[in-house]
Amino acid sequence: MHLRLTDEQKMVQQTIRRFVEKELMPLENEVLRNEREGKPSLPTGKLKELQLKAKEAGFWGINTPEEYGGANLGQMMMAIVYMEVSKTFVPFSFGGSADNILYYGNEEQKEKYLIPTINGEKKSCFAMTEPGAGSDTQNIKMTAVKDGDHWVLNGEKTFITGGNEADFVMAMAITDKELHQKSKGREGVTCFIVDRDMGWKSEYIHTMGEWGPAGLVFDNVRVPEENILGELHKGYNLGLEWIGFARWVVGARAVGTAERLLQMAIDYAKERVTFGKPIAERQAIQWMIADCAVDLEAARWLALNAAWTLDQGEDNRHLASMAKLYGANMGNRVVDKVLQIHGGMGYTRELPIERWYREARLWRIYDGTDEIQRMIISRNLIKGHVKIGQYI
Ligand SMILES: Cc1cc2nc3c(=O)[nH]c(=O)nc-3n(C[C@H](O)[C@H](O)[C@H](O)COP(=O)(O)OP(=O)(O)OC[C@H]3O[C@@H](n4cnc5c(N)ncnc54)[C@H](O)[C@@H]3O)c2cc1C
């Protein structure tokens, strides 16, 4: 057991850190301005420019398998990357951000959808949630009915990240009602790749954060048979499997953001003088700083363990749920304390703390709410699927 990064991991961490500090952080004021004016965070031209710089630095497609031209850095390395890139709220990923279930596609689908998504030429989104089915995904109502060599999709999806910008959606629909009922929603559902020009409509949903998901409407949308992703009637597991293994990413991202926020609080506490002394000399402030630091380290190790466990080829879903639950809540606690340390300034739009305060609230909801993670963790323990202290 060795609890320090390898030289290679440190090199990746430093390189990403430099990129974030040099290329992304200087754009923060522009992003804040754009978002407050209701414009996209960054204009497309600017994003393309950043992508090019990342490509030149050899950091493109870092999570993409080598056979698709990526670096396939593995989950542990990705955890390090997520922690670094989340120190800024400037939206950027180092490419290859294809939704993982696209890798289950056949050769033609990979050619048509996966490769362009990896290259940043096409945008995808994943649609499970419906107005009447959130945590209880088994309860979806959207249907697909066979008509010749096509399927006809009808229904609504909601809260779909990237749904207003996507060129295609991977949408879950019921293809066999009887099987769906008999299997309590686990079978009889199929995943369809649906191009926007096949006819689905999207509408932006305004939220308390800057993340605008979309509602999607499918009204007799005809989808060719060859656009079924994976097996007919087996889409539910396809969607859930990917989500369950990757949940720790929310925790890793929260760690990066909390690191940046805590540093801001420390710097501010040393500068801000009240009653003749910097507030950093007051125990009330010191304790908040200490509590944030402990909380953040605990979340870091949970996220790293979940990522490392997956790299070993082991089932990491229990750890991924713990990392997601703890990390998301840690992020909320830290941003709240950091705002408190900044006093009135923390509440203003002069600083990005209020933006993170709003965004952090989402971490406890998407990718499975706090309550759903607790259900998973306790069920694993009560049923004996996982033993206490197993992952060491
Ligand atoms: C910004 C944003 C982006 C999203 N992106 C996507 C996306 O890209 N694709 C997608 O498919 N979905 C997406 N979602 C949907 C998200 O996954 C759901 O919002 C989430 O799963 C919760 O579902 P719900 O909102 O319907 O809440 P509900 O399921 O209605 O839950 C309401 C409350 O009840 C609790 N609850 C529910 N069931 C139980 C239970 N059995 N026991 C105890 N408590 C329970 C919940 O924890 C919650 O507190 C996104 C959501 C948001 C807000």
pLDDT tens, position by position, 137-150 = 999 999 999 999 99
Given this model, what pLDDT does residue 73 score?
86
| For the CA of 239, the nearest atom of ligand 1 | 11
Angle at 84 between CA 15 and CA 165, to 5 degrees: 105
Across residues 112-131, what is the average pLDDT? 91
Across residues 253-279, what is the average pLDDT? 98
Given this model, what pLDDT does residue 1 score?
86
Is 75 a pocket residue for ligand 1 (Cβ < 6 Å)? no
Confidence of residue 97 (pLDDT cuts 50, 70, 90): low
Given this model, what pLDDT does residue 280 score?
98
| For the CA of 157, the nearest atom of ligand 1 | 11
* Closest to 171 measured CA to CA, from 132, 231, 110, 124: 124
Is 363 a pocket residue for ligand 1 (Cβ < 6 Å)? no
Cα→Cα distances 283→12, 43, 262, 290, Å: 37, 45, 16, 10
Across residues 214-240, what is the average pLDDT? 94
pLDDT for 338 beyond 80 = yes
Given this model, what pLDDT does residue 20 score?
96
Cα→Cα distances 355→161, 251, 297, 389, Å: 18, 18, 23, 37
Is 240 a pocket residue for ligand 1 (Cβ < 6 Å)? no
Taking the C-alpha atoms of residue 191 and residue 236, their distance in angstroms, rounded to an integer, is: 8
More confident residue, 80 or 241: 80
More confident residue, 277 or 122: 277
pLDDT for 293 beyond 80 = yes
Mean pLDDT of the chain: 94
Query: In angstroms, what is the span from residue 361 Cα to ligand 1's centroid?
Result: 13
More confident residue, 98 or 254: 254
Residue with CA closest to ligand 1 atom 17? 366
pLDDT for 98 beyond 80 = no
Is 366 a pocket residue for ligand 1 (Cβ < 6 Å)? yes
Is the alpha carbon torsion for 214, 236, 136, 324 positive or negative? negative
Is 164 a pocket residue for ligand 1 (Cβ < 6 Å)? no
Confidence of residue 55 (pLDDT cuts 50, 70, 90): confident
Given this model, what pLDDT does residue 103 score?
85
Is the alpha carbon torsion for 376, 382, 384, 389 positive or negative? positive
Is 365 a pocket residue for ligand 1 (Cβ < 6 Å)? yes
Given this model, what pLDDT does residue 209 score?
87
HEC assignment per residue over the chain? CCCCCCHHHHHHHHHHHHHHHHHHHHHHHHHHHHHHCCCCCCCHHHHHHHHHHHHHCCCCCCCCCHHHCCCCCCHHHHHHHHHHHCCCCCCCCCCCCCCHHHHHCCHHHHHHHHHHHHCCCCCEEEECCECCECCCHHHCCCEEEEECCEEEEEEEEEEECCCCCCCEEEEEEECCHHHHHHCCCCCCEEEEEEEHHHCCEEEECCCCCCCCCEEEEEEEEEEEHHHEECCCCEHHHHHHHHHHHHCHHHHHHHHHHHHHHHHHHHHHHHHCEECCEEHHHCHHHHHHHHHHHHHHHHHHHHHHHHHHHHHCCCCCHHHHHHHHHHHHHHHHHHHHHHHHHCCHHHHCCCCCHHHHHHHHHHHCCCCCCHHHHHHHHHHHHHCCCCCCCCCC
Query: In angstroms, what is the span from residue 366 Cα to ligand 1's centroid?
Result: 6
Across residues 109-125, what is the average pLDDT? 89
- Phi then psi dihedrals of residue 222, to 5 deg: -90, 125
- Sequence-ordered list of residues with C-beta below 8 angstroms from that of 335, at least 6 positions apart, any chain: 257, 258, 261, 353, 356, 357, 360
Given this model, what pLDDT does residue 183 score?
94
pLDDT for 356 beyond 70 = yes
Q: What's the first-to-final CA gap in the chain, in angstroms?
A: 9
Across residues 348-376, what is the average pLDDT? 96
Is 242 a pocket residue for ligand 1 (Cβ < 6 Å)? no
More confident residue, 212 or 267: 267
Given this model, what pLDDT does residue 102 score?
86
Angle at 205 between CA 201 and CA 211, to 5 degrees: 115
Residue with CA closest to ligand 1 atom 44? 371
